[in-house]
Each structure stands twice: as structure tokens, then as C-alpha cells.
Amino acid sequence: MKTLCILGSINVDHVIRVPYFPQAGETLTGSGYQIAYGGKGANQAVAAARMGAKVAFIGAVGDDDIGREMVSAFAKDGIDTTAISTIHNQNTGLAMIQVADSGENSIVISAGANGDLSPALVEQHRAVIEQADTLLMQLESPLESILAAAKIAKQANTKVVLNPAPARALPDELLSQLDMITPNETEAEILTGVKITDDQTACKAAGVFHQKGIETVLITLGSKGVYLSQLTQQSQQGQGEIIKGFKVQAIDTTGAGDTFNGAFLTALLESKTAPEASRLAHAAAAISVTRKGAQSAIPYRQEVEEFLAQHD
Ligand code: RIB
């Protein structure tokens, strides 16, 4: 079975529901405070594992109880946790999350141990990257470590996929190492300068990524679905299409993008086509937004197959 290596963050999420996002200086009474397992890397690893992928995770937790609890929860999900380091005198990363009545969220993170996932630590786990079919990363880890991992992967013919979240500008040195990129509209705009409003602008933004040598571009468009564009021999601009998602009543969108990424990569590793993989990933993400929390909301494969059977 092909392995998916995920390098990324592990956060303890402190979640509170709010009627709306407060303005500067405003104090608001929230409800339903919860501590939950999160972090973009960890959420993607859990999503892939629950979809049935063989997952190895490279990350770091602090020397604290919550970090240890999360690592053992990942192992229960079947994730290989050998390459998760414990950083002494450091806290596990954390995220303060407000979830509004609309289901949208607002997140502030403190890197904690995620900030200590150094290039030297990545180097220690070189073999995990080299032996994987695909390396999936996000941007809650130090950029120099992401770059180091991408270079190791490239040399070993391991495919490199970047989910460029949270949004930030990136050097061409990193973009040129990627086989696939999976931004949302905001991230795509920051990286390409193209504001995505419709199919044409999505196509234009995808073209900018293709020009940097990235073969597959998947721009997530929220409830509208995804714009999937692939370089073909006929078109160096890429050939794209919108793949629609499913309409559900969202109560919490935290981790929906992570669920999509984990499920999408799992399906590709099963040799599904990118449109087929998008459909499976849409279903997984749709289920996740109907539940509260990040990892607690991520469905198992059987639930996703049942959802697809009902919505076919
Ligand atoms: O993508 C959602 C995640 O972003 C949350 O789980 C939080 O930890 C932040 O990393």
C-alpha cells in the first residue's frame, strides 16, 4: 500500500461559539467552550487515515499531557507517529477558535512545538519522506523546514503537495518544488495576484501556478466546489473544470479544508482520477461541516461511502 507522509502542525483547539465575531474593544459572551484536537497537519493526517490511507506523520508536540494524548489518539486512528517529536520545555501548539452562528470561524494560533519542527528534525526523518508516495504539507510549520522536506521529496521522486494555509506569500524556490497545490480563494489570490470571482479568474490563477511548473492546481471555492486544473501535453495553460460540492447545513466549518485535503490525497493514492477524488473529498468535507470541532468532525470512510450512495 502506498504511504502518504504528512508534515505539519498539531494544535490543541480552544473553541468557543459566538453569535458573531466581536469588533476591536468589544466583549462578547460566547457559549459551548470546548478543548478539541486540531492543527492543519494533524487534521489532514486524521482525515486521510479515516479514509483508509497508510499515513506517516512528521510533526512535534510539547512536553505536556495534551500533546501525549493527541499522539496516542493519532496512533488509535492508525497513523504512524514514529516521526512525531516531543519538544522539552515547550507547549503543544494551540489555536483559539471562535465559531459564529453562520458556521464560519476565526482562528488565532500560537505555534508552540510546531515552531520547533526544524530542518534538522526534518532531516532526521528523511527516510519517511523518501519512502512515501506523496508528501502533503501546509504552512503552520517553519518555512525553511517545509522547503527542506520538499527538496528531500523531490530528490526521492516523492510527489510534493502543498495546502498553502494559512495564507502567506511564498518563494518561487518552494513553489517550483511542488507537483500540486491546493489553495482556497484567498490563498490563491495572495500567491497569484488574481482575485477569483468566477471560472475565468480561477483559470487565470491556476495558469499562474502552472507557469511555475505546478502540474495540478486545485482551488477550493467554499460551497461552490473546487476548480481543478491540470497541465496537459495539449495545454501548457492547464485544462480546468469546476467540480461541485454537496449542499449541507453547515454548523462548523473548522477543519473542512483539511478533511478535503486528506480525503483527496487518499483517493489519488488509490489511483482514482482527480475528479473522482474531488467527489469523495467533497463528501467527506460536507459531513465534517455538519459536526462540531476539527478532528472530532472528520468522518470515517464508510460514512463517506454511505453519503455518496445517498447523494448519487
Ligand atoms: O484548519 C483548521 C485548523 O486550523 C484548526 O484545527 C486549528 O488548529 C488551526 O490550525
Report residue 299's pLDDT band, with 50, 70 and 90 as the boundaries: very high
Q: Answer whether residue 255 is part of any domain.
A: yes
CA of 255 to the centre of ligand 1 (A): 6
306 occurs within a structural domain = yes
Distance, CA of 135 to CA of 142 (rounded, Å): 16
Q: What is the mean pLDDT of the chain?
A: 96
CATH number at residue 135: 3.40.1190.20
pLDDT at 34: 94
pLDDT in tens, 85-128: 999 999 999 999 999 988 889 999 999 999 999 999 999 999 99
Residue 221 binned pLDDT confidence (cut-offs 50, 70, 90): very high
- List the domain range (segments joined by +) for residue 251: 3-8+40-81+116-162+245-310
| CA gap 191, 174 in Å, rounded | 12
Q: Minimal CA–CA distance to 268: which of 228, 240, 241? A: 228
Cα distance between residue 287 and residue 255, in whole Å: 11
Start-to-end CA span in the chain (Å): 28
Question: pLDDT above 90 covers what percent of the chain?
Answer: 93
- The residues, ordered by sequence, that sit 6+ positions from 195 with a Cβ below 8 Å of its Cβ are 189, 201
Residues 6+ apart with CB under 8 A from 207: 229, 237, 238
For residue 181, is it within any domain? no
pLDDT on residue 223: 81
Residue 174 included in any domain: no
pLDDT tens sequence across 150-197: 999 999 999 999 999 999 999 999 999 999 999 999 999 999 999 999
Q: For ligand 1, is residue 95 a contact (CB within 6 Å)?
A: yes
Q: How many domains does the chain have?
A: 1
Is 262 part of a structural domain of the chain?
Answer: yes
CA distance linking residue 179 with residue 116, whole number of Å = 26
Is the C-beta atom of 285 inside 6 A of ligand 1?
no
Q: What is the pLDDT of residue 1?
A: 86
**What is the residue with the minimal CA distance to atom 10 of ligand 1?**
39
Residue indicated by cell numbers 519512502? 131
Which triple of cell numbers denotes residue 188? 490563491
Question: Is 133 among the residues known to form the active site?
Answer: no
Q: Check: CB of residue 298 under 8 Å from CB of residue 78.
A: no
**Size of the chain, expressed as the number of residues it contains:** 312
Q: Dihedral, CA atoms, 263, 238, 162, 170, nearest 10 degrees?
A: -150
Strands (E), 193-256: 216-220, 226-230, 239-243
158: cell is: 516523492
**Which residue, 237, 245, 232, 242, is CA-closest to 196?**
242
pLDDT over 90 (residue 236): no
Yes or no: say if 129 and 57 are a contact pair by the CB < 8 Å rule.
Answer: no
Q: Residue range 220-228: average pLDDT?
A: 92
Q: Is the CB of 94 under 6 A from ligand 1?
A: no
- For the segment 134-161, the average pLDDT, to the nearest whole number, is 98
The 8-class DSSP code of residue 224 comes to G
Residue 235 has pLDDT above 80, yes or no: no
The answer, yes or no, to whether residue 234 has pLDDT greater than 90, is no
- The verdict on whether residue 110 carries a ligand-binding annotation is no
In the chain, % of residues over pLDDT 70: 100
**DSSP structure string for 249-298:** --S--TTHHHHHHHHHHHHHHTT--HHHHHHHHHHHHHHHHTSSSSGGGP
Residue 24 to residue 206: CA distance in whole angstroms: 36
Residue 84: pLDDT band (50, 70, 90) is very high
Residue 120, CB-side half-sphere exposure with 13 Å CA sphere: 2
Query: In this structure, is residue 121 part of a structural domain?
Result: yes
The finding on whether 140 has its CB within 6 A of some atom of ligand 1 is yes
Q: pLDDT tens for residues 10-41?
A: 999 999 999 999 999 999 999 999 999 999 99
Residue 249 lies in a domain: yes
Checking phi first, is residue 39 left (phi over 0); if not, alpha (psi -120 to 50) or beta?
left
**pLDDT at residue number 130:** 98
Nearest CA to ligand 1 atom 7: 39
